[in-house]
Structure 1
């Protein structure tokens, strides 16, 4: 067995999959004897802990990004991780809801930002965002999930607004950085694990 095949198997086991599982991306990496597989495995493993987020927060953050990216394999995996870290059904539902709500906001506010027309800022949005008003995960953590989803979706206006809100709530830039780091790794892993 090659080193790449062994690393793929370790990655799959880490993600809760059978070591023999393969998809098109994994097959191509394996055929090409890609050195990247080791980086991917190490990066993916690093999403389980953080110096600035607890393990439950890491799992909920990753779940929200997996939902945002519509990755069923990672959704299932990180739901199980969140449950193992004592996340409640309400907290898990909120991570899912956050991904959906921010997808809406990211499209809407990116549109306003791209056009740069004052008229579009004067027209009422007419979208409901009750989830943001009193989140069960707490305002600061909900904002962290929001900035992570917004970064993945490329909404500059939303990223800046959520960063300002998070810092205003007393969170550190390191917490923000780790949230976005986890989001980037889950997005990357989702290109290969699906």
Structure 2
């Protein structure tokens, strides 16, 4: 169950990802709730059923029920925000910057967990979906809240490895 099941399911060509799963999620300097919330939010964002199911099962042993919901909430709110803010930025017309989003985002103000943890989860999801505007915004908020660059870096490492595991398992399923 959990990371071990994902490692067992990964093909040989993803050996680096197998090794990195243990050295990121399993052996990070982040607090367990920060690491597992990050992993869960990223698993939701990565969309692979095996990765999501296995990380969710193991994360539930490290997170409160509220934190599980907040991690899933971080992934879903960023699914919306990353598309919206990345698109506004990529269009390249500064007139869009002054237009209000008029999209409901109340979970960001009241996530049900420590605000910094939620911001870390949002940053990690933004790394997966590639929204530079959101990455900059969440990194700035995290740093202002006292998170170190090393903590931000750990969140990015977890995002990269969880996403890579999902890509490898999606490829295996498609080729089977």
- Bin for the TM-score computed over the shorter chain: 0.7 to 0.9
In the alignment, does 2:95 pair up with 1:116? no
Alignment of 1:132-151 (within 5 A): 132-151=108-127
The two structures have a TM-score, normalised by structure 2, of 0.87
Alignment of 1:108-187 (within 5 A): 108-187=84-163
Conserved 8 A contact 2:14-2:168: no
Give the CA deviation at 1:55. Answer: 2.2
Q: What residue number does 1:94 align with? A: 70
Which deviates more, 75-84 or 161-170? Answer: 75-84
Conserved 8 A contact 1:49-1:58: no
CA distance in 2, matches of 1:64, 1:153: 12
* Structure 1 unmatched runs, 5+: 1-11
Give the CA deviation at 1:145. Answer: 0.7
Residue-by-residue CA offset, 1:162-187 (whole Å, 9 max, x unaligned): 11110000110000000000000001
Give the CA deviation at 1:115. Answer: 1.5
Conserved 8 A contact 2:43-2:162: yes
* Structure 2 unmatched runs, 5+: 171-176
Q: What residue number does 2:21 align with? A: 44
Q: What residue number does 1:4 align with? A: none
Conserved 8 A contact 2:67-2:112: yes
Q: How many aligned positions are there?
A: 169
CA, structure 1 residues 127+44, in 2 after alignment: closer, same or farther (shift >3 Å)? same
Return the structure number with greater helix share. Answer: 2
Conserved 8 A contact 2:3-2:58: no
Q: Determine which structure has greater relative contact order: mean sequence separation of CA pairs < 8 Å that are 6+ residues apart, divided by chain length.
A: 2
After TM superposition, which residue ranges in structure 1, 4 or more long, deviate above 6 angstroms?
none
Instruction: Compare CA radii of gyration and give the structure with the larger one.
Output: 1
Q: What residue number does 1:63 align with? A: 40
Conserved 8 A contact 1:49-1:55: no
Give the CA deviation at 1:101. Answer: 0.5
Q: What residue number does 2:174 align with? A: none
